[in-house]
Amino acid sequence: MFRPNRLTFILILCCGAFSALPCYGQKWANDMFADREYDFGMVAKNADTVYKFEFKNLYKDDVVIRGVRSSCGCTTPSITSTVLKSHETAFVVAKYNSDRFVGSRSATITVMIDRPYPAEVQLKVTGFIRSDIVLQPGNLNFGSVSEGSQPQKVIQIDYRGGKSDWQIADVQSAYPNVRVSKKELFRSRDLVSYSLTARLLPGAEIGVNQAELILVTNDPGNRQISVNLEANIVSPIQITPIALDLGEVKPGQRVMKHVLVRSDQGCTIKEVDCPCSDVVVTKPVGQKKLHRIAVVFTAGSETGLITSTLRVVTDTGTVKNVKFSANIVPESPGINAIN
């Protein structure tokens, strides 16, 4: 009868531990992704169609991505960051190559992870690329746009599906900061062409704005066409920081911080005010590309969290708000000497 010695027992335990590692690694890696499947639906030929799979490092250790690969040339994957610190977020970007493929297409994207443990996560995309509808250009990309401006972009939709009565009946969007109009350009037995004009409206948030426009057609088999819209709204006036957190402050303590206001063309600070009576601000004078606003806070006797808003108005009409906070904590009691 075989009786394992101590060394054999240790080897069995080690083999079991190593065999369990891929399973464990796969689960913790999968848990980082908000979703792992996406259906593009019906996509027009040449449409610039992209989906971003969000993932977040939920752990204390760094997550290191070795790379991404796709099982099909219909989808090109990329990654926005290969090293994620704890609680950082990144995206695996899946670009559906509707300019080179048609018909039903699907791909599996494999995300290869090196650390803290070797693992692979598989993401799946599916869709149907129509050959009878072509977009020129592939999307409505406004690029960088100054805050408050109202630029417009035009896209052309060509239909070659054989229905001479084909038409775009409506344009729908959940994005409130765009106005869209359509115009029929040409109609024959073989070709129907429309132009779609999109104008950005004031009120879009600073940063990257992304939206989907849905073109509703009278084709009972394929009623909807999606068009992606993207715009990077840039403020002519940048202010840093946007939140001024002084942390813990003792009663009577005086703290000074600075708020920086930048403008490529130069600006004048017309007003600086804060409703908190414990805050004193100094308004800079003259027109400059960089202003330093001194903010002085003197803590009162009452303890607790104080929040307020610093309001900055420039001669361009731009109004910027900086959130202000300080936590007034009591003095630590002294320690009596023991004789």
Query: What contacts 195, CB < 8 A, 6 or more positions away?
Result: 154, 155, 156, 157, 182, 183, 185
Residue with more model confidence, 316 or 134 = 134
Q: What is the pLDDT of residue 6?
A: 53
Reported confidence tier of residue 110, pLDDT bands at 50, 70, 90: very high
Share of the chain above pLDDT 90, in %: 48
Q: What is the mean pLDDT of residues 155-184?
A: 91
Token readout for 199 is: 């104008």
**Most confident of the following: 91-95, 131-135, 245-249:** 91-95
Q: What is the mean pLDDT of residues 134-158?
A: 89
Q: What is the mean pLDDT of residues 52-62?
A: 92
Q: What is the pLDDT of residues 7-36, one digit of tens each?
A: 444 444 444 433 333 444 488 999 999 999
Does the pLDDT value for residue 318 go beyond 80? no
Q: What is the pLDDT of residue 263?
A: 85
Q: What is the pLDDT of residues 276-296, one digit of tens each?
A: 889 999 888 899 889 999 999
Asked if the bond preceding 251 is cis, omega within 30° of 0, the reply is no
172-176, 261-265, 334-338: least confident range = 334-338
Contact 257, 282 (CB under 8 A): no
Chain centre to alpha carbon of residue 159: 33
The mean of the pLDDT values for the chain is 85
Q: What is the mean pLDDT of residues 207-216?
A: 88
Q: Domains for the chain: give ranges and CATH numbers.
A: 22-130 (2.60.40.10), 139-234 (2.60.40.10), 237-328 (2.60.40.10)
Token readout for 141 is: 């990309």
Q: What is the pLDDT of residue 10?
A: 44
Q: What is the pLDDT of residue 338?
A: 38
